[in-house]
Structure 1
Amino acid sequence: MATSVTVGVEEEFLLVDPVTGAPVPKNAEVAQTAEEGGVDLQLELTSCQVETSTDVHSDTAALLKELAQLRRDVAVCAERNDARLLAVAIPPTVPERFPVTDTPRYQRIAREFGMLASEQGLSGCHVHVGVPDREVAVQVSNHLRPWLPVCLALTANSSIYHGAETGYASWRSILWRRWPSAGPPPYFDSLDDYEAMVEMLLSSGNILDRKMVYWDIRPSDSFPTVEVRVSDVPATIAESALLATLVQAAAMTALESIEKGERAPQVPAEVLRAAYWNAARSGLDGNGLDPVTRRVAPVRALIAGLRRHTEAALDELGARSFVDETIDSVLRRGNGARRQTLALRARGDVADVINELATATLEGCS
């Protein structure tokens, strides 16, 4: 097995009114309060969102501890500005438009992409895993590519929108793919192949800068990492740590395959998109599609397949027990999407969804 790789996590959150649950444009105020308290928060595209970033970790327990600390601290900063922090991938109740954050870059995106920016408010979770160089990053991305739908299904957390059921566990995934550079990543033969595609997107105006390469896995331009971006922001810190650990183990498994000269399966884009749709639609429940074998299987079986695929790496990380226990807990209790849906069905009141999400956001953080 390849040497353990490091991992870091970025989580995007929604700021909402503590009474109505509607998104509130207070990210600058919350970030200022956080800065005064020694917490670094990033502003997102809409002024209703903030993002946290962990340090680099190799140990799941340390990562989980920092995720808890960050959510707890930011929730306090939000409360001090009369807002509530929610780990949710789309707002359950929304305004007609989202105010775009007042920075030159975000305002330019708003001008160029219109309603794609002002109807945003989508929050994801990004997992960075360390790799030797960008050429290796492209090959690791190819190996992780078929597992992205499973990661999406496991962490889906956006089933309620405009106060109603969307019929999807991850409505964020469906909306996000409207951007020209978002969604399932292409298969790239080399770093040169990847760079040529990025240059085409830039020259054609499909993206304004390299940060707008929104594919669900990509070599990072800022760090020596592969960045996995497929997931909704998970409802709980345990689910975020589970996602990060599975991605970390899958990257280790990919590095071992690359060292052996094994190429990743070249899953056609159409097949991967079909698997994505199944994952976004079903979440944990029902069937999914294995993009390699093209066979329909219960989502639980596909999750078990990822667990088996990464078993040796999980043992090396000392994370097998955590992963097994957390997967079992999520399958039994439900991910954020299932929890949202059950909360709404109980009384038909979106306020119950907001309360369920607020509870899940800080679950395990005290």
Structure 2
Amino acid sequence: MNIPSIGVEEELLLVSATGNPLPRNQAVIDSLPDLDVTLELTRAQVELNSPVCDSAAELDQALRSLRSDLAGAAASEDARLLAIAVPPRGAAAQLITKKARYREMADRYGLLAREQAVCGCHVHVDVPDQEAAIRVSNHLRPWLPTLLALTANSPVYLDQDTGFASWRWVMWSRWPSAGPPPYLESPEHYDALVAMHLAAGTIMDEQMVYWDVRPSSHLPTIELRVSDVPLTVDETVLLATLARALVMTGVEDGPGPKLEPEILRAAYWLAARDGLTGGAVDVATGELLPVAEVLAKLVQYVGPALQELGDEDLVADGIARALSDGNGALRQQRTFREGGDVIALTEVT
């Protein structure tokens, strides 16, 4: 198999000493002129961008360094940097970043935009061309709920236990082009759907195709967007490794399975609510299975790619650790219900 390069974008939250979202992203970024860190939709968010990496170890090192540098810059602005996917305290509506594109989004989408201080993790994986990206998108669709469950990290929102492992998914689903991509027949089919959204005015441009998998509009990659920002670098690297193995498998395979949309919808909802604590819907059959069994099916599916990458142990250890110790969502819920400090748990240092 051809081994593609990977890159990761992590959106992180800036909060005050008391844990309320803090609108200082411009000042934090201005203090880091040499790092690839960018503004996000609300002024309490920043996004770090890893370099293009050829191995999991390289990605791990890059993310640890970027998180550390960004946390230091935040501290210099009296801010705390959180690896969390929704604001754990404060108000729902946030100040919009002073950037023309974001101001237009606020004008067009109103409260939907102002309540979007949600932080995701996006994994870019190299693909040969758009035709390959379309094929890979179809192959990734069955596994999107599983990846969401694995990386869920947003159960606490505005001092409330939402009852969902990924409340970010609930909030993000309100956008007109969010969620799983449709089964795509060809690049022309993709272009036609984007053109429909543009003509209808539901999106401003192709960058607002917010499907959980999409061909990048500006890079020769396919972009996996389903995940909450994970609590730890280990979890982000696990996600990126599984994403790369899925892309490698999809590139080598046929057109991909067509799924019953209602089964996929149910699988998503259950993954967002339960994360790793309940069952999972097998999207091929509609059967409810233990989440560990569905994760095992995923590992088996990408097994040859993981072997080629030399990342079998990394994935096995990462999944075992998530199932035994919990992901970010489970650790947040446990901390919140025991009266602990979710801010301290999720703070990047």
Q: What TM-score do the two structures reach when normalised by structure 1?
A: 0.94
C-alpha distance in structure 1 between counterparts of 2:106 and 2:99, whole Å:
11
Stretches of 4+ aligned residues off by more than 6 angstroms: none
Q: Which residue pairs with 1:188 in the alignment?
A: 184
Q: Which of 325, 339, 343 is the aligned partner of 1:354?
A: 343
Q: Which amino acid aligns with 1:34?
A: L
- The 5 A counterparts of 1:244-259 are 244-257=240-253
Q: Which residue pairs with 1:51 in the alignment?
A: 47
Q: Which of 89, 92, 111 is the aligned partner of 2:107?
A: 111
- 1:336-363 per-position Cα deviation (integer Å, ceiling 9, x unaligned): 101110111112x5xx1111111xx44x
Q: Which of 132, 136, 139 is the aligned partner of 1:136?
A: 132
Q: Which residue pairs with 1:28 in the alignment?
A: 26
Q: Which amino acid aligns with 1:218?
A: R
Q: Which of 264, 268, 282 is the aligned partner of 1:276?
A: 268
2:2 paired with 1:3: yes
Deviation at 1:301, TM superposition (A): 1.1
C-alpha distance in structure 2 between counterparts of 1:240 and 1:128, whole Å:
12
C-alpha distance in structure 1 between counterparts of 2:261 and 2:20, whole Å:
37
- The 5 A counterparts of 1:129-208 are 129-208=125-204
Deviation at 1:173, TM superposition (A): 0.4
Gaps of 5+ in 1: none
- 1:173-209 per-position Cα deviation (integer Å, ceiling 9, x unaligned): 0110000001111111000000000000001010011
C-alpha distance in structure 1 between counterparts of 2:255 and 2:198, whole Å:
29
Kindly indicate whether the alpha-carbon contact (under 8 Å) linking 1:138 and 1:219 is maintained by their aligned counterparts in 2: yes
RMSD: 0.9
Q: What TM-score do the two structures reach when normalised by structure 2?
A: 0.98
Q: Which residue pairs with 1:101 in the alignment?
A: 97
Q: Which amino acid aligns with 1:4?
A: I
Kindly indicate whether the alpha-carbon contact (under 8 Å) linking 2:92 and 2:158 is maintained by their aligned counterparts in 1: no
Deviation at 1:94, TM superposition (A): 2.5
Deviation at 1:96, TM superposition (A): 4.0
The DSSP-based 3-state class of the residue aligned with 1:57 is coil
2:303 paired with 1:314: no
The DSSP-based 3-state class of the residue aligned with 1:34 is coil
Deviation at 1:263, TM superposition (A): 2.4
Deviation at 1:270, TM superposition (A): 2.0
C-alpha distance in structure 1 between counterparts of 2:209 and 2:242, whole Å:
23
Gaps of 5+ in 2: none
Q: Which amino acid aligns with 2:251?
A: L
Q: Which residue pairs with 2:278 in the alignment?
A: 286
- 1:130-180 per-position Cα deviation (integer Å, ceiling 9, x unaligned): 000011101110011110000000000000012111010000001100000
Kindly indicate whether the alpha-carbon contact (under 8 Å) linking 2:89 and 2:157 is maintained by their aligned counterparts in 1: yes
Q: Which residue pairs with 2:81 in the alignment?
A: 85
Deviation at 1:28, TM superposition (A): 0.2
